[in-house]
Structure 1
Amino acid sequence: MVEQSNRRGIVLMVAVTFIFAMQDGISRHLAETYNVYMALMVRFWFFAAFVLTVAARSPGGLRRATRSEMPVAQLIRSVVLITEVIVMVQAFVYLGLVHSHAVFACYPLLVAALSGPVLGEKVGWRRLVAIGVGFVGVLIILQPGIGVFTPYALIPLAAALLFALYSLMTRYVGRVDPASVSFFYTGVVGAVVITVVGIWHWQNMTPGDWGWMAVLCLTAATGHFLLIKAYEVAEASAIQPFAYLQLVFASALGVLVFREELELNVMIGAAVVVSAGLFTLWRARVAAQG
């Protein structure tokens, strides 16, 4: 029996967001130099090896990890995730970390908006208003019809929609499959799908970039391991709001390392999106308790 501690879970979630932000920075660096499919293929090879190792050492072993009550749904959600990762890395290349994460931060609002029609969950008027306010924040960031808006700005929005669908499907299959099964499908199916595409785009990397690739693989495994531990020791509703720190860490990395600009409209829009997202998380917690 694992001892429950929300404080420890929060510390782990903060560490996870920092690691994932650093992972995004490395992904941007590699994707600017090499084919994105190849870079993600190597990353998912390592991730799949990590998943297989965890599954083999878990109760029931690999046989239990592959036993899904909804194998087709598990396959689809895994394909949706790898597609989201590809789209998001492309967003890093075209828009940078700051803009990409500012827009991507709306995915909890998309989850809340789609949970009704997809999962049949009740969404009250307060959360509907918060969702609307959040998308006003997205418009503030994107500035459609103003300034230098380009279609590239829609790439992280597409990634947010894909991740929201992945999250909803994870909750859907989670009704009958344990987390270990979903984790197994995520890593193994993702590796197979990206290999089918990425193997045709192989490029030789410099020794230095192979080093960055090794760091990327280690951060992916470490981040997911700590995320599992965070949800194991703490209530999801207590630690989920801290996931927004990835926006802060990624933005800092974008400004300090990649010399990205932090425009006023992006800061205001991101603040609106995050505030609306935190409110929807709070209302979901209130609704669950009463």
Structure 2
Amino acid sequence: MSVPASRSSLHAMFFMALGIFGFAVLDALTKRLTEDYGTWQIIFLSRVVTTSLILAFVLQSHRTIAVLRSSNIGTHIGRSLLVIATTWSFFECLRYIELAYAVAVAFAAPLFMTALSGPLLKEKVGWHRWSAVLVGFVGVIIALQPGADGISYGAALALVAAAAYALLQLWLRPLAGRETSHNIIFYTTLFSGLIAMPWALAEWRTPDTTGWLLFLAQGGTSTIAQMFIIRAFRQGEASLLAPIEYTALIWVGLFGYIFWDEIPTIQVFIGAAIIIASAIYIAQREAKRKGG
């Protein structure tokens, strides 16, 4: 029996909201871990946890790991390099700037995706979307709050993370329909963990009990959040779900205030509002274009 479209959309929005909340928790846990551990160690241990959970999920669901066979190993390795670039720059930026500030700047990713889809994927980007991209980058500049010496190191890292994430998502498109969700997550986490391992060992600090619990919570939250997001996109249209992504700013703002007494400046909120409005407009134009 098929699920009515309206009900399916509500399910998609529900799972998207859960996934975004999960990623906000993940960001808060990561910021806490940066107080005691190096970025490479955080990446490596989070990948160990996520890879283990995916293997457990596959074995529980399919009784064999044979379903993880892939003919796209080269693509997975390439994406893993971008995952490392995205993750390291974002995790590292959390050492230097407020949680909500980092997430607000990272919202620029859809702007980069639109700007890069033309030269990289040969997609036609009309003047409506180009205008939204330009307006969005005005919001980025406002949120970055550049001073006489330019933007801060932490803010620059957040911007790098947004650009790398955009490339990562563009690289995901060739895998669409060719790989299962658990394969994509498994190989991305496996290879990115292997890449991070030498640097993690070089800066290794053995966690105490609290540290191990934080690492387990971080890796588990990452896995669950990804699963929720994937389920959401299976049931709903991207244009419907895109605005929900920006509820992350509410959660990280709340977490930042509760745990670190962080209160973002008005410039961050103004810039974030412009970025979000531009990204939603781009998503709506993209949906209209695909719909003919």
Is the pair's TM-score, using the shorter chain for normalization, greater than 0.5? yes
Partner Cα distance (1:60, 1:123) in 2 = 45
Cα gap change, 1:112 to 1:237, in 2 (>3 Å): same
Partner Cα distance (2:166, 2:288) in 1 = 21
1:106–1:160 contact (8 Å) kept in structure 2: yes
Name the SS for the 1:95 alignment partner: coil
Partner Cα distance (1:216, 1:11) in 2 = 22
2:92–2:154 contact (8 Å) kept in structure 1: no
Deviations 1:163-185 (A, max 9, x none): 00100001123264444432221
Cα gap change, 1:125 to 1:253, in 2 (>3 Å): same
Partner Cα distance (1:238, 1:211) in 2 = 36
Instruction: Quote the offset at 1:261 in angstroms.
Output: 2.4
Partner Cα distance (2:185, 2:21) in 1 = 21
- Asked if 1:83 is matched to 2:85, the reply is yes
Q: AA paired with 1:110?
A: F
Cα gap change, 1:229 to 1:108, in 2 (>3 Å): same
1:87–1:156 contact (8 Å) kept in structure 2: yes
What is the root-mean-square deviation of aligned Cα atoms in Å? Answer: 2.1
Which residue of structure 1 aligns with residue 270 of structure 2?
268
Which residue of structure 2 aligns with residue 14 of structure 1?
17
Instruction: Quote the offset at 1:248 in angstroms.
Output: 2.1
Partner Cα distance (2:93, 2:2) in 1 = 39
Length, aligned pairs only: 289
Consecutive aligned runs of 4 or more in structure 1 exceeding 6 Å deviation:
none
1:41–1:194 contact (8 Å) kept in structure 2: yes
Name the SS for the 1:33 alignment partner: coil
Calculate the TM-score normalised by the size of structure 1. 0.92
Which residue of structure 2 aligns with residue 217 of structure 1?
219
Q: Which moved more, 1:202-211 or 1:133-142?
A: 202-211
Partner Cα distance (1:8, 1:32) in 2 = 37
1:119–1:172 contact (8 Å) kept in structure 2: no
Q: AA paired with 1:32?
A: E
Partner Cα distance (1:102, 1:183) in 2 = 25
Cα gap change, 1:215 to 1:175, in 2 (>3 Å): closer
Deviations 1:95-153 (A, max 9, x none): 12121111100101111111111111111110000000000001111232458842332
Deviations 1:232-280 (A, max 9, x none): 3323332122111112211221122211122111111010000000000
Which residue of structure 2 aligns with residue 129 of structure 1?
131
Deviations 1:178-223 (A, max 9, x none): 4443222112212222223212222122222222222212211221
Name the SS for the 1:131 alignment partner: helix
Unaligned runs of 5+ in 1: none
Which residue of structure 1 aligns with residue 171 of structure 2?
169
Unaligned runs of 5+ in 2: none
Q: Which moved more, 1:104-113 or 1:256-265?
A: 256-265
